[in-house]
Chains A and B, each alone.
Chain A
């Protein structure tokens, strides 16, 4: 099954969202990402017990930090879906892309450009 999702998204594969740390999310923004979303298994269906729950807490932490430093916490989200649910995956990708479009580019990227100019 091939499902189309917006080409602006770069996927980083991890064995479990429990591996996602706050620092990974922050680094992505530091490097200019406009948004980051973490897609984990449905809650209660983590193969490592609570990896996806941990991920959600870290996403919340990252949100808080991004809010504090003026980047905006809405740029990071956590989604859950069943591993076989391709269409839902694409739906979330579209939703996230819309959200980010509305928010505009990561201010860090703009700051980088200004510096370069």
Chain B
């Protein structure tokens, strides 16, 4: 899933302090699962903002809505008939949802309510960690199912570096060394020999480096 974190309330207040009618829009997908921008977080933020403005002596109306997804036309359309009532929207969706909202409702200011962090997994309750950077040419088949691009601090394709210490990465004792994980799993899979195959220089043109990306599937287009 896409993992996000709540933005500090101060920052949000700064964005929205000059508006009178606000819509706080959550998203029912990833940000709900990582407890950053679902219905619950919408409620908390709305309540906090209401109290803040009240305390400041400002009259601000704040409505709440949580859409099934903000990265899909279908669900974003659900608020079309009332979007004009609002001076601004605070979207608690990931950066994709915020932008899709802004594209769709071109004349309404839209602000982000979360910091979108990465694509990751829920390691345990309350702990999420990165697993993929969407490089566009997945090499997991050659790295024992562990991604060195997203999980090695130096994205080494031929690791580990000389800083790998007791299974941890040189940059932090709290971070597993991706290459230690790869080696452990290669052994488990009885494929340790494969370690010595040199991973060729990567084509990064399908990654961020190649410019904004697009996937077009003629077979599923209408």
Contacts and interface: CB of A to CB of B under 8 A. Distances in A.
Q: Do these two chains really belong together in a complex?
A: yes
For chain A, what secondary structure do more than half of its interface residues adopt (helix, strand, loop), or is it mixed?
helix
B157 to A, nearest CB: 41
B9 interface: yes
Contacts of B44: 22-23, 26, 65
13 contacts: A21-B40, A23-B40, A30-B51, A65-B44, A65-B48, A68-B10, A68-B52, A69-B48, A70-B52, A70-B56, A111-B54, A111-B57, A112-B54
A70 B43 CA distance: 18
Nearest to B58: A111
B8 to A, nearest CB: 8
A69 B17 CA distance: 12
Contact of B51 (A23, A69, A115): A69
A108 interface: yes
For chain B, what secondary structure do more than half of its interface residues adopt (helix, strand, loop), or is it mixed?
helix
A106 B114 CA distance: 29
B168 interface: no
A22 B40 CA distance: 9
A8 to B, nearest CB: 21
Contact of A68 (B9, B54, B59): B9
Interface string A101-114: 00000011001101
Given A22-B44, A23-B40, A114 B51 contact: no
A29 interface: yes
Contacts of B137: none
Which of B8, B13, B49, B50 is packed against the most chain A CB atoms within 10 Å?
Answer: B50
Contacts of B48: 26, 65, 68-69
Interface string A72-86: 000000000000000
B55 A65 contact: no
A100 interface: no
Contacts of B54: 108, 111-112
